[in-house]
Amino acid sequence: MKRILLGLFLLVASLSVAQTPQPDQEQKLLALIKDVQTQQAQLAENQGKIEEKLAAVTETVRTARIYAKREK
Digit-coded pLDDT (tens) for 16-63: 655 565 778 889 999 999 999 999 999 999 999 999 999 999 999 999
Structural domain tally of the chain? 1
Q: Which residue has the higher pLDDT, 56 or 72?
A: 56
Residue-level pLDDT at 24 = 87
Residue 59 belongs to domain spanning: 2-71
Residue-level pLDDT at 52 = 97
What distance lies between CA 44 and its chain's CA centroid? 5
CB 29 within 8 A of CB 12: yes
